[in-house]
């Protein structure tokens, strides 16, 4: 089992930047597929970015070119660098994971990971 703890959310003006972090702890933590999801009030949860064990990455179209998902050394931390933020990026952001020894690639990995963090709020004002 893996534990996920997010941080880095906050309030920014449009065009600003934030960097979210997710500390990943637990046995075989470096073998999980990892993702960032978000959910805005009244909207369905959506996958923002995913990274599999092979380094393949997925981004939802609305954040391509603005957001970057990355893993730190030993894959103990997952990051989401968010640039040129827009009001429509306002949501609760969640770190999520599947594993251990996740063998799927992002192209077929679904949107219901097993493990979730508590979430961190991102608010973008115009």
| Start-to-end C-alpha separation, the chain | 40
State the pLDDT at residue 52: 94
Query: What's the pLDDT at 107?
Result: 85
Position 123 scores a pLDDT of 98
Q: Enumerate residue ranges in the chain where pLDDT < 50.
A: none
> What pLDDT sits at residue 8?
98
Residues contacting 16, CB < 8 A, separation 6+: 85, 124
Which residues sit opposite 92 in a β-bridge?
Answer: 39, 121
User: What pLDDT does 95 receive?
Assistant: 98
Question: What pLDDT score was predicted for residue 67?
Answer: 98
Instruction: Name residues whose C-beta falls within 8 Å of residue 59's C-beta, 6 or more positions apart in sequence.
Output: 48, 49, 67, 69
How far is Cα 94 from Cα 72, in angstroms, rounded to an integer? 17
What pLDDT, on the 0 to 100 scale, is given for residue 1?
87
pLDDT tens profile 92-126: 999 999 999 999 998 888 889 999 999 999 999 99
Q: Which residues contact 8 (CB under 8 A, 6 or more apart)?
A: 18, 19, 20, 21, 120
């Amino acid at each position: 089992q893996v534990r996920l703890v997010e941080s880095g959310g906050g309030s920014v003006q449009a065009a600003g930047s934030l960097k979210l972090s997710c500390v990943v702890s637990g046995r075989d933590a470096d073998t999980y597929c990892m993702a960032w999801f978000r959910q805005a009030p009244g909207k369905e949860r959506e996958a923002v970015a995913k990274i599999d064990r092979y380094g393949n990455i997925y981004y939802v179209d609305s954040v391509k070119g603005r957001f970057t998902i990355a893993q730190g050394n030993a894959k103990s931390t997952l990051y989401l660098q968010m640039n040129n933020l827009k009001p429509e990026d306002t949501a609760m952001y969640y770190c999520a994971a599947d594993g251990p020894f996740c063998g799927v690639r992002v192209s077929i990995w679904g949107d219901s990971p097993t493990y979730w963090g508590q979430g961190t709020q991102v608010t973008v004002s115009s």
